[in-house]
Structure 1
């Protein structure tokens, strides 16, 4: 089974993907992993590669293509990334979300910064990404039509979010 898990920063997609992988034994990849791999291939550290990627839409496109290729060559895989659902032929497409205040607090703790700064960075990043996704891919990131399931990760503990996805995969298997 191929599953995509997307969501904005701080929504818990990485945690959900890791726990889901542990529960199911299905391996997972993330857009971040691919980004780091591409940086290493070019002999750059993450910061230098991030700067390079800012003005180079081919980097975004290559990440999307690599995810799609890896998924196409896999029987079972969890693919984590904001746009994965648009480029990966998946059996289940999940979007995780949480209120901005919750996501800000999570990132604040994870990155040891103030909640106010985390919130400002999230807002700036999301505006930039929304514009970039629209310009590069003609994707409105706020349109949830591509997703089979949308989960408020603030309403459930991370383990429960993964369990919800497991239950959905069981329903899908019964329908096949």
Structure 2
């Protein structure tokens, strides 16, 4: 990237942004680009999950199995993410929080809530180089959706409170970044008539 291209990609913002979506949606790619462009921290649910696994001296596979057995692991993860959201929601500094429930957990603390998605066949192709297999991805999606509904009465398919929903199969990585950058740079608090209310979660 040239100096001119670098300066063009920089984003001057103080917004707290959440990014959510299913496996292979492009959330990690977008967050890495946004973090670089804004110079702000980026925390993902996956990082926190790995942190919990290390604390308990478990592999990710073992921790995932335990999460299937009871709500303790999911609640521990979500409580940490919610605490992070609370802290950064009051900081008036740019921040990125990425997880399947980030928009729900941040609630009205977030300035912009983004949902990314893509057709299943596209997402499957995108995870081909990952440890997780296609059947595992599909099982995990169904399992997580069931657990969210059971634990928190969350319908993960409910999208109306997201401010921006993007089908990342329709544009390249840079174009998706440009769409979000435009949303961040054009945001004017004085012109904001209000976000959709996020249903409260009892953790």
TM-score relative to the length of structure 2: 0.78
- 1:105 and 2:122 correspond: no
Contact kept? 1:92, 1:148, Cα under 8 Å: yes
Structure with the higher fraction of residues in helix conformation:
1
How many positions carry a matched residue from both structures? 171
Question: Counterparts of 1:81 and 1:23 in 2: how far apart (Å)?
Answer: 20
Highest Rg: 1 or 2? 2
Q: Per the alignment, in what secondary structure is the counterpart of residue 52 of structure 1? A: helix
In the alignment, structure 2 segments of 5+ residues that lack a partner are: 1-14, 193-203
Deviation at 1:112, TM superposition (A): 7.0
Q: Secondary structure at the match of 1:156?
A: coil
Q: Tell me if the contact between 2:38 and 2:94 (Cα under 8 Å) persists in the aligned partners.
A: no
Describe the shift of the 1:28–1:112 C-alpha distance in structure 2 as closer, same or farther (beyond 3 A). closer
Mark the runs of 5 or more structure 1 residues left unpaired by the alignment.
Answer: none
Structure 1 SS opposite 2:115: strand
Q: Per the alignment, in what secondary structure is the counterpart of residue 141 of structure 2? A: helix
The RMSD of aligned alpha carbons is 1.8
Deviates more, 1:141-150 or 1:154-163: 154-163
CA positional deviation for 1:43:
2.1
CA 1:90–1:51 in 2, change beyond 3 Å: closer, same or farther?
same
